[in-house]
Amino acid sequence: MDRREFLKSAAIAGAAATIKLNARAQDAAPAEDAAKAVAADESAAPAPVVVAVRNGEPAEMFRKGIEELGGMKAFVKPGQKVTVKPNIGWDRTPEQGANTDPTLVAEIVRQAIAAGAASVTVFDRTCNEWTRCYKNSGIEDAAKEAGAQVVPGNDENPWYVDRTCDQAVKMKSAKVHKALLEADVVINVPVLKNHGGAKMTAAMKNWMGVVWDRQFMHRNDLPQCIADSILYRKPDLNVIDAYRVMTANGPRGAVEADVSVRKYQILSRDIVAADTMALKVIGYELSQVPYLKMGEKHGLGSADESKFDIKRIEA
pLDDT digit string, tens, across residues 187-243:
999 999 999 999 999 999 999 999 999 999 999 999 999 999 999 999 999 999 999
Higher local confidence (pLDDT), 18 or 96: 96
Residue 7's pLDDT is 42
Question: What whole-number distance in Å separates Cα of residue 249 and Cα of residue 196?
Answer: 7
Given a cut of 50, is residue 3 above it in pLDDT? no
Query: How many angstroms separate the first and last alpha carbons of the chain?
Result: 92
pLDDT digit string, tens, across residues 8-59:
454 444 544 444 444 444 444 444 554 444 444 444 557 789 999 999 999 9
Averaged over 257-285, what is the pLDDT?
97
Given a cut of 50, is residue 264 above it in pLDDT? yes
Question: What whole-number distance in Å separates Cα of residue 103 and Cα of residue 11?
Answer: 84
pLDDT digit string, tens, across residues 97-152:
999 999 999 999 999 999 999 999 999 999 999 999 999 999 999 999 999 999 99
pTM of the model: 0.85
Is 192:241 a contact under the CB 8 Å cutoff? yes
The band of 291, judged by pLDDT with boundaries at 50, 70 and 90, is very high
Q: What ranges make up the beta strands (E) of the chain?
A: 49-54, 81-86, 119-122, 149-150, 160-164, 173-177, 185-189, 191-195, 199-201, 237-246, 259-268, 309-314
Residue 93's pLDDT is 96
The band of 182, judged by pLDDT with boundaries at 50, 70 and 90, is very high
Residue 45's pLDDT is 59
Given a cut of 90, is residue 81 above it in pLDDT? yes
Residue 46's pLDDT is 74
Higher local confidence (pLDDT), 35 or 308: 308
Helix (H) or strand (E) holding 295: helix 291-297
Q: Give 313's strand partners.
A: 53
Helix (H) or strand (E) holding 209: none
Amino acid letter at 177? H
Residues 6+ apart with CB under 8 A from 185: 75, 76, 80, 81, 82, 83, 112, 117, 236, 237
Residue 48's pLDDT is 83
Is 24:232 a contact under the CB 8 Å cutoff? no
Question: What whole-number distance in Å separates Cα of residue 255 and Cα of residue 296?
Answer: 35
Residue 33's pLDDT is 54
